[in-house]
Structure 1
Amino acid sequence: MVKEAVEDAKENEQVMSEDEEKELKEEASEVKKEKKTSKRAKKDKKDEKIEELTDRLTRQMAEFDNFRKRTDKEKSQMYEIGAKDVVEKILPVIDNFERGLEAVPTEDKDNSFIQGMEMIYKQLLTSLEELGVKPIEAVGNPFNPDFHNAVMHVDDENFGENEVTEEFQKGYMYRDSVVRHSMVKVAN
């Protein structure tokens, strides 16, 4: 019996030691898990910071790219606006050249001074055309409010409906935009 008791005690010790071992293993695994989760938490904080900084950098790069594109567009628009303003200032000079040349009697057209003025006028028109300034064709064309400014209306059966019959002041376009509308008389 003593032998059996000793063996039972040994078995109990082994069982207890196995239970203790399991408990110890569980505690050890929990400690390891805690360490891992604390490491993950630390990594997560670092990863979050990295993601945040990466996101900020990406957004700033996109914002800078948009800024660069916007300033390039504004620069080209400023050039267009400046050129259009210069053309607007030159148009009255062209009008005065045309009025002056129309007022010259036919017998004086052979005068060298008049010929010189006509050459200057033609050179001015050529230079403007090279820059992209073109006169708007009006007479004989249908009335278009985008290009023409109707200041008179006449009923005449010789012309079609909404046809421009007379041009009082020439209109001009700079590239694709109207600098000055043509002042016209419209029939029917």
Structure 2
Amino acid sequence: MAENKEEVLEEVLEDLEKEAAESEETTAEDTTSTEEETSEEHTEQTEEESESDDSASDEKKGFFKKKKDKKDEQIEDLNDRLKRQMAEFDNFRKRSEKEKSQMYDMGAKTVVEKILPVVDNFERGLAAVPEENKEDAFVAGMDKIYKQMMTVLEEIGVKPIEAVGQEFDPNFHNAVMHVEDEELGENVIAEELQKGYMYRDAVVRHSMVKVAN
């Protein structure tokens, strides 16, 4: 009976040892599984945090990029406006200079028109002087004044229009008479009744002429 009891006890102890060993294996497996799950969760959390950081970084970059692009657009807009204003100012300056030149020419032309009758009177007066009196001091003085006036007019761009012997041109000549002259060709100026003058490239006064048919 004692041997049977010992055998029973040994069997019970063996069963307990087996159960204890199985329990330890189960606990180890559970611990390993838990650690693996914890590690995976930590890895996933780290990846999510990394993605979140990357996303935040991209958002920051995009934000600053947008700010920079807007600033560049403003700079380009200001440059375009500046270029347009400079072009407009340059056109205004050129237009002003042209208008100023035209106004100066108009004013000078008006002054020349008023002086021409004085020139005509000088020429008529000198032409009416008898040949024997042309050496008089007074006549010589008037002739010098006339020549001086013509020199000044020439210096500012006033010059007489060629007429006698030239072909009639309505842009420069004003025909008031027609004559029959076989020695002259048709439409050729036979005589100048009043001198015409030009100021630079503009006609101040047309020549009054007699034209051959």
- Is TM (by shorter chain) over 0.5? yes
The amino acid across from 2:134 in the alignment is: K
Aligned to 1:179, what secondary structure does the other structure show?
Answer: strand
Aligned to 1:48, what secondary structure does the other structure show?
Answer: helix
Question: Partner of 2:19 in structure 1?
Answer: none
Question: Partner of 2:113 in structure 1?
Answer: 88
Corresponding position: 1:120 with 2:120? no
Question: Partner of 1:154 in structure 2?
Answer: 179
Pick aligned residue for 2:62 from 37, 51, 70: 37
Separation (CA, whole Å) in 1 of partners of 2:118 and 2:68: 75
- Give the aligned length: 188
How much has 1:139 moved relative to structure 2? 0.6
Separation (CA, whole Å) in 2 of partners of 1:103 and 1:156: 28
Taking structure 1 as the reference length, the TM-score comes to 0.82
How much has 1:46 moved relative to structure 2? 2.3
Question: Can you give the 5+ residue segments of structure 2 that lack an aligned partner in the other structure?
Answer: 1-24
Pick aligned residue for 1:141 from 160, 163, 166: 166
How much has 1:87 moved relative to structure 2? 0.9
**Between 57-66 and 5-14, the greater mean CA deviation after superposition:** 5-14
Corresponding position: 1:106 with 2:131? yes
The amino acid across from 1:20 in the alignment is: Q
How much has 1:121 moved relative to structure 2? 1.7
Separation (CA, whole Å) in 2 of partners of 1:15 and 1:177: 100
Question: Can you give the 5+ residue segments of structure 1 that lack an aligned partner in the other structure?
Answer: none
**Between 50-59 and 5-14, the greater mean CA deviation after superposition:** 5-14
How much has 1:182 moved relative to structure 2? 1.0
Distance 1:13 1:139, change over 3 A: same
Question: Partner of 2:91 in structure 1?
Answer: 66
Question: Partner of 2:14 in structure 1?
Answer: none
Question: Partner of 1:172 in structure 2?
Answer: 197
Question: Partner of 1:26 in structure 2?
Answer: 51
Aligned to 1:22, what secondary structure does the other structure show?
Answer: helix
Distance 1:112 1:19, change over 3 A: same
User: 1:81-127: CA deviations, max 9, x gaps?
Assistant: 22222111100111112222223333443443333322222222122
User: 1:150-175: CA deviations, max 9, x gaps?
Assistant: 22333433212321111121111122
